[in-house]
Structures are given as structure tokens and as C-alpha cells.
Amino acid sequence: MAVRKVLLYPDPVLKRVCAPAPEGDELDRVIADLVDTMRSFPGCVGIAAPQIGYEVRVAVIDLSEHKKAPPSVHGLLALVDPVVVASDGAEVAREGCLSIPQLTANVRRAVTCGVSTRDGDYEFEGFEARCVLHEIDHLDGLLFLDRVDSLTQDVFPRKTGKPQPKGG
């Protein structure tokens, strides 16, 4: 459909809890815009609807070409009304976000997670679980900076000359 402008923090839309996903053609348009926008940023593996101004519970991920993806990666997925139903383990790793392009941070997240969506249930692990949880946070009005242990020790300026962030 269209590549949309990515909202940047402190845009208030990024801190709001999203409404349930729409139905039919409207849902198809949101998903298409998310995919087109995600693919317009080299190396991007996910983006959530509020990042492009839609305040609905929809996100897309695609780790199929990413070097950190586990062998069991799902490929392109549209997560419609996702809910985390299980999680296990914890690991700290660096995250970035299209909506906060100047920073990265060490963020603690579950190593595995189960997610229920309108279209079915999924199990994710490793980097894919991290990406899914990052995008679901966007739907709940949370940013990766809300998850850091220490704003002074775990947040870093993005190095110049680097490609766009690896997550939405």
C-alpha cells in the first residue's frame, strides 16, 4: 500500500495503549502499510501500528533474512491482537527502535514466549521472541527505554554510519 512516516518519541501516540485491531479491508491496509514501511528500512525486523500512526493492536515481524534469527524463524508474520500468554527465561541484549533512532539500550527480555493472536497461537524463542515482545510493548504504549535497568548505564548513543535500527 504505502510507506508511512515513522513517528518519533516523544510523539504521544507511542505511549498510548492501542485499541483492538480493525476488521476486513481496514486491517489489510494497516498490515500492508506496516510491511511496506518495515521493508523500506534496511535491516528492520519489525514494526508496530502505532509507530506509523495507527492506534490499533497490529504489528509485523520478519526475521527470515536476519543473521541473529534462529533456524525455527516463522518468516513474515502479522500479529493481530497479540497477547503474551507465556514467557520463560531472561536475557539482556541490545535493542534499537525506529521511533528512537538516536539510541540503543541493553534490555532484559524473556528468552521464549507464547503469543495468542486472532489467527492462532505461536511459540517464539531467542532473537525472534525478543522482537515479538518489543513490538507487543509498542501496542501497550511501552518503549524499550521503559524496560532498561539503568538509564545511565544501559542506554547508548547510536553510532553514526550504522544502518537503521534492527527493530520497530
Residues labelled catalytic: 135
Best CA proximity match to 18, nearest among 46, 60, 48: 48
**Backbone dihedral region for residue 70 (phi beyond 0: left; psi -120 to 50: alpha; all else: beta):** beta
Q: Is 131 helix (H, G, I), strand (E, B) or coil?
A: helix
Q: What whole-number distance in Å separates Cα of residue 9 and Cα of residue 168?
A: 12
- Alpha-carbon distance of 158 to 144, in angstroms, equals 14
Q: How far is CA 36 from CA 5, 7, 29, 82, 159, in A?
A: 11, 15, 10, 20, 26
